[in-house]
Structure 1
């Protein structure tokens, strides 16, 4: 296996769905495709009870594959299912509260950094990572130029790692890597056709192995 630690790595965002067994099979299949740093499991429209049931099974699948499971939604659910971390989708105040309460026991990060000012406010609360983009925002083949520009600016001056949301084309991962991002998040690019998910992950890892810039030690 190649040394992936010194280049941009893949983060997956699991799409919404009511059928737990289908979601579990889709996730399990995808994770056989190669290196994945972490998987974000958003709550979407599920009520807390159903979300907890889904998260219990999905978190175990992620962890068994050697990736970190990040729950986006109810922090109590994240605790109950023994997730590795919490992805905060709210604003900087909420992120600050979650950081204070749960680090360093859990990984805590989040986004809504739509400009440099907001990004710096997020940096001030010292999350484990900052997320450029919005879950569900992958509507074009390429990553949003604004998110890439923010990532490039951020990576050049701030130590806190960043995750950039890619586009619907798996090749968009390379643009995030070239911007200096430590991680690129893919959703529809991987899961649009679940049967192809492992092949997409293998291809993205091969692309990043070959072309992604390397971080200095």
Structure 2
């Protein structure tokens, strides 16, 4: 995950899909839409073997587009698919173990912190990023207010970059950017967009280009 340009950048979360070929095509479409820093690939309900096959299809698509491919949960699938990183959903201990075992060879980040204390505990292992929210947490149009508040607090205090989960509406990306965090994660806002995922990514980037606060003056 390269450093932000001068504003909050997009992180895409691949939605669940029973058809891997369809999932790959949808992801390719989204990445054609413009700047994406990274893509998180969750396991959802897939068994390990099926998930590994899926990551082997999706990871190269992400990397060819110039984004970082982050596999959620399964370190073996991350390694075997030559992903750029591992997204840890567990607690502080799970994150610390992943950092110890896989960094700096892989980008290692994550988060399951729903309060400041847990966030600071998870930050002690110095992951590459912290994630506020749940990968499937985009159930409302707007980003969850608690995640926005945590992101704003974190960005004002801690140098480790943060990703905040957005809502199911593209406009939620702007509210996330206004907290000062480096990245906004979108799932349904992009992959459920009526105009298609490429248009959603283009519109999200246009919105951030026009209205997101700039970093570092």
Q: TM-score interval w.r.t. the shorter chain?
A: over 0.9
Q: Answer whether contact 2:170 2:189 (CA < 8 A) is retained.
A: yes
The 1:177–1:24 alpha-carbon spacing in structure 2 relative to 1, beyond 3 Å, is same
How does 1:17-166 map onto structure 2 within 5 Å? Answer: 17-166=17-166
Q: Could you tell me how far 1:195 is from its partner in structure 2?
A: 5.6
| Structure 1 residue 175 corresponds to structure 2 residue 181 | no
TM superposition shift of 1:74: 1.2
Counterparts of 2:189 and 2:129 in 1: how far apart (Å)? Answer: 22
**CA distance in structure 2 between the aligned counterparts of 1:18 and 1:164, rounded to whole angstroms:** 27
Provide the TM-score with structure 2 as the length reference: 0.96
Asked whether the equivalents of residues 149 and 179 of structure 2 are also in contact (C-alpha less than 8 Å), the reply is: yes
The residue that corresponds to 1:216 in the other structure is 216
How many residues are matched? 214
Shift of 1:73: 2.0
Q: Alpha carbon RMSD of aligned pairs, Å?
A: 1.1
Matched, 1:16 2:38: no
Runs of 4+ aligned residues of structure 1 deviating over 3 Å after TM superposition are: none
Do the aligned partners of 2:193 and 2:200 also contact (CA within 8 Å) in 1? no
SS of 2:105's equivalent in the other structure is: coil
Conserved? CA contact 2:168–2:189, under 8 Å: yes
Unaligned runs of 5+ in 2: none
Tell me the SS of whatever aligns to 2:184: strand
Question: Displacement of 1:196 after TM fit?
Answer: 1.1
Provide Cα deviations, 1:98-125, integer angstroms capped at 9, x if missing partner: 0001111110001111000001001101
Q: State the TM-score, normalized to the length of structure 1.
A: 0.96
